[in-house]
């Protein structure tokens, strides 16, 4: 049972445009959400997070939106750059549970020139 | 970069042989984790540790055991490797309870079981 779902395996966006990556979750106990970025042959690296008490968190070109009623979050990258080409994982956890993260299956983003 | 070293980085082994992957950290973080990454599954938690000699199972723990005799080292053992354990294994660390934030991941260990 996949508790965190990323239904788009891949996404292609032109440089300078907006990239929108989506994530859905089913476990209503999740109260903290994170996005990780992964390049080939490297470990995932943290990108941005959001607590369930917020509906938006912004960090430079990256913004995460959380819709708790829909159990949906999205990552917006504006403007997209070629260096953003990577696999993006959405993750969720319940605060106080030893930071055990449940990951989605990932979305491969390709930013084209 | 977080001080996390995984070894070996690549390993090919035969079905039925034992395999041990090592994770070493220099951050003195309390929590350590082993995840595996497979196509179509993302990253799945195998085992985690919340202190020396304190470990617990994750969602895909069958066929794996772990040990943590020192704060800095977390070992993942496949007692008898199977082809279904061919995967990329990632170690991660976290300061622990009360810390709501990201895990820091190592670079991964690619294991192939023939």
Closest CA to B22 of B37, B11, B30: B11
CA distances from A34 to A64, B62, B103 (A): 9, 27, 10
Which residues sit opposite A84 in a β-bridge? Answer: none
Identify the band that residue B93 occupies on the pLDDT scale cut at 50, 70 and 90: very high
The answer to whether A99 contacts B44, with C-beta atoms less than 8 Å apart, is no
Pull the structure tokens for residue A47.
């990108």
At residue B97, the pLDDT reads 61
pLDDT above 90: residue B96 = no
Chain B closest CA to A53's CA: distance in Å? 13
The answer to whether A41 contacts B101, with C-beta atoms less than 8 Å apart, is no
What residue of B is the nearest CA neighbor of A88? B42
CB A23 within 8 A of CB A112: no
Identify the band that residue B2 occupies on the pLDDT scale cut at 50, 70 and 90: low
CB B32 within 8 A of CB B49: yes
pLDDT tens digits, residue range A40-96?
A: 999 999 999 999 999 999 999 999 999 999 999 999 999 999 999 999 999 999 887
């Amino acid at each position: 049972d996949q508790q965190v779902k990323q239904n788009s395996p891949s996404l292609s966006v032109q440089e300078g445009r907006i990239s929108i990556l989506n994530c859905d979750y089913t476990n209503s106990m999740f109260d903290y959400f994170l996005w990780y970025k992964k390049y080939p042959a490297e470990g995932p690296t943290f990108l941005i997070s959001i607590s369930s008490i917020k509906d938006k968190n912004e960090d430079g070109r990256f913004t995460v939106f959380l819709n708790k009623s829909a159990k949906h979050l999205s990552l917006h990258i504006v403007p997209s750059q070629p260096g953003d080409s990577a696999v993006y994982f959405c993750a969720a956890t319940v605060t106080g549970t030893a930071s055990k993260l449940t990951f989605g299956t990932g979305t491969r983003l390709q930013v084209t020139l | 970069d977080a001080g996390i070293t995984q070894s070996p980085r690549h390993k090919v082994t035969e079905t039925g042989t034992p395999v041990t992957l090592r994770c070493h950290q220099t951050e003195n973080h309390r929590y350590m984790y082993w995840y595996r990454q497979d196509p179509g599954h993302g990253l799945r938690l195998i085992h985690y540790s919340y202190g020396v000699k304190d470990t617990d199972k994750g969602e895909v723990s069958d066929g794996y055991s772990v040990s943590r005799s020192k704060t800095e080292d977390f070992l993942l053992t496949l007692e008898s490797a199977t082809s279904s354990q061919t995967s990329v294994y990632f170690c991660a660390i976290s300061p622990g309870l009360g810390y709501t934030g990201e895990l820091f991941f190592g670079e991964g260990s690619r294991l192939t079981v023939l």
